[in-house]
Structure 1
Amino acid sequence: MALFNQKDARKQLDNEAGKVHRADLETLLDRQRSIEEKVKGSGKLARFRTDIKLMFSLIRDYWYGNYRSVPWKTIAAVAGALLYVMNPLDVIPDLIFGIGFVDDAGVVALCLKLVESDLHRYAAWKEHQEDMKTAPQSN
Structure 2
Amino acid sequence: MKKPAGFDRYLNLAERFLARGRVPALLFAVARKSSRLKLVKSDLKLLQELALATVRGQYRELNPKALLAVVAALLYFLSPVDVIPDWIPGFGLLDDLAVLAWVVRHWQSELDAFKAWRDRQSVDVRQSLNLLPAPGESSAS
Of structures 1 and 2, the larger Rg is shown by 1
Partner of 2:61: 69
Structure 2 unpaired stretches of 5+: 126-141
Structure 1 unpaired stretches of 5+: 1-5, 134-139
User: In the alignment, is the contact (CA less than 8 A) between 2:76 and 2:82 conserved in 1?
Assistant: yes
Q: Report the TM-score, using the length of structure 2 for normalisation.
A: 0.76
Whichever structure has more helix as a proportion of its residues is 1
Percent of aligned positions with the same letter in both sequences?
Answer: 29
Task: Choose which of 1, 6, 15 in structure 2 pairs with 1:21.
Answer: 15
How many residues are paired up? Answer: 125
Superposed structure 1 runs of 4+ greater than 3 Å apart: 22-26
What RMSD in Å do the two structures reach over aligned CA positions? 2.4
Q: List aligned pairs for 1:4-83, cutoff 5 A.
A: 7=2, 9=4, 11-21=5-15, 23-24=17-18, 26-42=21-37, 46-83=38-75
Deviates most, 13-22 or 81-90: 13-22
Q: Report the TM-score, using the length of structure 1 for normalisation.
A: 0.77
